[in-house]
Structure 1
Amino acid sequence: MEIYQIRAFVTVARLGHLTRAAEALHLTQPAVTAQIKALEQSLGVSLFQRSGGKLSLDKAGESLLPTAEALLKLGSELKAQATQLHGQLQGQFELGIPSERMDFLRLGPFTQAITNSLPLVHLHTRVLPAEQLSEYVSTGRLTAAFAIAAHPPRDVQWLPLRSVVYRIAVPNGLHEQLQAANWRELAALPWLDGPSGSHSHWLLRDMFEKRGQSPRIVMQIDDLANIDSLVMAKTGCALLREEVALEGFKRQAFSLWGNVRVNATLGFAYPSETEAQPLLIAVISLLKQLWKIDD
Structure 2
Amino acid sequence: MPNHVSIQGFKGSFHEVAARQYFGAEPELLACATFAAVVAHVVNGSADAGLMAMENSLAGSILPNYLLLERHAIHITGEVYLPIHQHLLALPGTTLADVQAVHSHPMALRQCGDFLDRHPHWKLVETDDTGHSAQLLAETRTPGVAVVAGAQAAAQFGLHILAPAIHDDPHNYTRFLVLQRAETVLPDPDADKASLYFYASHAPGSLAKVLTRVAAHGLNLSKLQSCPRPSQPWHYGFHADVEFDDAGQLRALLTDLAPVTEELRVLGTYHRGQWNTAEGPSARVAQASPQLLA
Question: Same-fold call, TM > 0.5?
Answer: no
Higher relative contact order (CA 8 A, sep 6+): 2
> Per the shorter chain, which TM-score range?
0.3 to 0.5
Instruction: Find the structure with the greater CA-based Rg.
Output: 1
Normalising by structure 1, what TM-score? 0.38
Q: Give the number of the structure whose residues are more often helix, by fraction.
A: 1
